[in-house]
Amino acid sequence: MTSPEMRRRPFTRRRPARGDPCGQRGMVTAELAAALPALALVLITAVWGLGLASAQLRCTDAAREAARAAARGEDPDTVRALAQAVAPDDAVIDVRRAAGKVTIEVRTTVAAPIPFGSAAGPTVRGRAVALEERP
């Protein structure tokens, strides 16, 4: 025989009172589902920004290498080949010589991120100027 003090009360589930945080079960899931598209957009934009920076650096490096070769007196085909080796695949390379200076400009268009692939991307440029060396 058990005493009244030893009896257990049956478990009853109580309803949360108003303002009780336990009544907001599932809110985090709903907020996360709403925030995921925004997070994906931020991530895509960040990766695209890194791609833009990389293309800019490659254009600048290609222009610098080509300007150094042109300043040494290399022929235009060699200068373009050196620039094309460093530049992005679809880069346009301009070589200008005037007043003892060589100016190389390398430019390319960076495609927009995949969801917006049909949108025109920005053009990045790299430019270098060198004095022609005299033998």
Kindly report, residue by residue over 12-71, the tens digit of the pLDDT: 666 655 655 555 666 778 788 888 999 988 998 899 899 999 999 999 999 999 999 999
110 vs 113: CA distance, rounded Å: 9
17 vs 38: CA distance, rounded Å: 33
In the beta sheet, which residues pair with residue 131? Answer: 101
Q: Find all residues with CB under 8 Å of 85, minimum gap 6, and list them.
A: 62, 65
Mean pLDDT (the chain) is 84
110 vs 86: CA distance, rounded Å: 16
User: Domains of the chain: which residue ranges?
Assistant: 39-131
Residue 126 vs residues 7, 27, 103: alpha-carbon distances, Å? 84, 50, 11
